[in-house]
Amino acid sequence: MKRIAFIAIAALAVTGCDPQPESADKKQGQATEKMQGEAVAQVGMPAIVNFSEMRDAKENYELRDKPQATITYIVDLNGKLHKLCDSVGYGLPYGVQYSNPQKIAASSHNVGYAILPQAEPNGLFMPASADGTWVKCLDPFDKTMKTVYIEPRVIVSPFPLGQ
């Protein structure tokens, strides 16, 4: 009897515990990975030596981290610029999130994990994309900075704009 149990355990160890056949997606992913490896072997990587785009990106990040005077414009349908306000910084896209938009959670039947949407600290779920921008504009009446919401079809401001 012990011998049969040993043979059954050995058979499981040899064959593995995953009775699922390999999925088409997994096969395609492996084939793509193999092709990408072959492409790199034949063509090689680009001969980038100055990393100028990375330097530009770093400089832009650092520039955005320093509050500085800017001017915010909107563009009409003819491409003409219209000054909206004196501002500070470069605006913050509405879709920016303070926390990770997804979280890993155990599935309900202990069969693995799932990636679920995660609410922002305010309890709301952000859209995957949005057209709006938050801009800190100078209120011309009391000379304080106030946040104005701008998107293609609407502008929301705590003070009159467009004088």
Which pLDDT tens digit goes with each residue over 70-109? 999 998 899 899 999 999 999 999 988 888 888 888 776 7
120-130, pLDDT tens digit by residue? Answer: 888 888 887 88
Structure tokens, 41:
């072997």
With a cut of 90, say whether residue 112 has pLDDT above it. no
Cα separation, 77 vs 90, in Å, equals 22
Instruction: Please spell the DSSP secondary structure of 10-62, one letter per residue.
Output: HHHHHH-S--SPPPHHHHHHHHHHHHHHHHHHHH------S-HHHHHHHHHHH
pLDDT band at 20 (very low <50, low <70, confident <90, very high): low
